Amino acid sequence: MRVALDTNRYVDFAKGDDVAVSALRRAREIFVPLIVLAELRAGFACGSRGADNERSLVRFLNTPRVHVVYPDDNTSHHYARVFLQLRQQGTPIPTNDIWIAALAIQHELILFTRDQHFEHLAQIPILN
């Protein structure tokens, strides 16, 4: 199983949540969208344990099965299609989550998230 990791599920994993830990142990490869890294680091910057959280994140990112996935020109086409779809459906989601969805689609990944609004995008397989 190849998964894209959403911010909330990384936080769950970092806290030792059994569901998150089990799911990530089963994953063959784990892809962390650049947008998720930015959200995590923004949270670290606002918190009191920023340095500890950053060390844990770097350890996680250095795991051989973990890869950061970056948006590129192709991602922007997926973003545009997702944006239009959501607009036509009348089901907007946060902008950062559109980028995460676009990367999941582009790289054919299962999205590991707790955010229910991704269910408006039937083309993305979801792991809750």
DSSP secondary structure of 13-66: HHTT-HHHHHHHHH-SEEEEEHHHHHHHHHHHHHSS-HHHHHHHHHHHHTSTTE
* Tens-place pLDDT, residues 72-105: 999 999 999 999 999 999 999 999 999 999 999 9
Q: Rounded to an integer, what distance in angstroms lies between the CA atom of residue 117 and that of residue 112?
A: 13
Beta bridge partners of residue 2, listed in sequence order: 29
* Tens-place pLDDT, residues 9-57: 999 999 999 999 999 999 999 999 999 999 999 999 998 898 999 999 9
Class of domain 2-127: alpha beta
Find where tokens 């969208």 sit: 33
Q: What is the pTM of this model?
A: 0.95
Beta bridge partners of residue 126, listed in sequence order: 111
Domains of the chain, by residue range, sit at 2-127
The two structure tokens encoding residue 77: 């086409």
pLDDT band at 128 (very low <50, low <70, confident <90, very high): confident
